[in-house]
Amino acid sequence: MSRFFFVFLLVLSSCVAPAPLYRPDSHVVPMFEEDEKVQIAANISAYSGYGAEIILSPIHHMILFGRGTISNTDRFNQHYWEVGAGGYVSASDYVFVELIGGMGQGNPQGKGSREIESEESLFPVIETYLYEAAHDRIYGQINVGAIVDSEDLMVGGAFRFSQTTFRSFSSQPVGLFEKVEGLFLEPALVVRAPLFDSIFLEGEMGTSIPLKRTNWELFETQRRYASIGVRYQFGW
């Protein structure tokens, strides 16, 4: 009997799937070497969906950018956009440092399941819940990159602090939470290699470390993510 009960609880717990609420996306890492340059990039990730960005350096040491992502899975859907600015310096002919900040908005929708107590059953009951939300995100980020060989292979690290606040939140059942917010540290490794003239292949791997969260109990935390994409750079 005890063995059956253990198996039952194991199966029950495997049916509980917290809803995804916030999934980190790829970092903005242009690594400009000079001004009057423009970059257009696109990437794909199994975690955060499809992304695209445009970055320009209109004058020396200045960065302006805009980007967006679209996620569409069975449990998580979101359209997200952001804009930002920053600056860059060349520590040497091979090492680059960038400091940027951004702000954006998203409208995630998702579904999950949880255990609730029931007066009609001896065991917890699995309840499915849905949510729709709108959130604001502000962040600061530092990038450090270096050219590691004569073929212009670039390796860099990005460190982002993201503050995400949900300004509206509705759920079914009604009233799951009134306020949801989180602060995350999101480091990543970026590798970029020349593919064709002015076109680069790049990959990114990172993680998301929660530093502070409010009312996050029913939602999963996406710890790891990866993306792959292409980047085109040209001047004017």
Per residue of the chain (236 residues), give pLDDT as tens.
445 333 333 333 344 566 778 888 899 999 887 778 999 999 998 777 899 999 999 998 999 999 999 988 777 889 999 999 999 998 887 899 999 999 999 998 888 776 666 666 666 767 777 888 899 999 999 999 998 876 778 999 999 999 999 888 777 776 666 678 899 999 999 999 998 888 999 999 999 999 998 887 777 777 788 999 999 999 87
Report the length, in residues, of the chain: 236
Instruction: List the structure tokens of 157.
Output: 């690290």
The first and second tokens of residue 121, run together, are: 């059953």
Per-residue model confidence as pLDDT tens digits over 127-152: 777 888 899 999 999 999 998 876 77
| Span 149-178, pLDDT tens digits | 767 789 999 999 999 998 887 777 766 666
Two structure tokens written together for 132: 């729709």
Per-residue pLDDT at 84: 98
Q: Which domains does the chain have, with CATH numbers?
A: 2-21+29-235 (2.40.128.90)
